[in-house]
Amino acid sequence: MRSENFENVWDAVEPAAEQAEHLRLRAALMRAVRQRIEDEGWTQTEAAGLLGVTQPRISDLMRGKLSLFSLDSLVGLAVAAGLRVHLTVDQAA
């Protein structure tokens, strides 16, 4: 069995660099929105109302169902949650 080292878990999960980067960005946004909900002590119903989505959508977010969220939708949720999204672009390793 051959062992490989990866810079991050998304590179191991998704061999296509572009898709791995999308996963990494979506996961970071999902964590930030989930953390905001937890920090504020919002119930899922409260969060849904404040963020303009349904409670089942918040449930999916809280359960980490990354495949159900686009990058655009997560940026929208982050902004609605009162977060500012910053983008930094670096040269690939």
pLDDT band for 6, please (50, 70, 90 cuts). very low
> What is the residue extent of each domain of the chain?
9-80
Residue 15: how many other CB atoms lie within 10 Å: 8
pLDDT digits (tens, 9 = 90+) for 11-27: 445 556 788 888 999 99
The alpha carbon of residue 85 and the mean position of all alpha carbons in its chain are separated, in whole angstroms, by: 12
- Look at the domain 9-80 and name its fold: 434 Repressor (Amino-terminal Domain) (1.10.260)
Q: Is 77 exposed, middle or buried (0-12, 13-18, 19+ CB in 10 A)?
A: buried
Assess whether pLDDT exceeds 90 at residue 31. Answer: yes
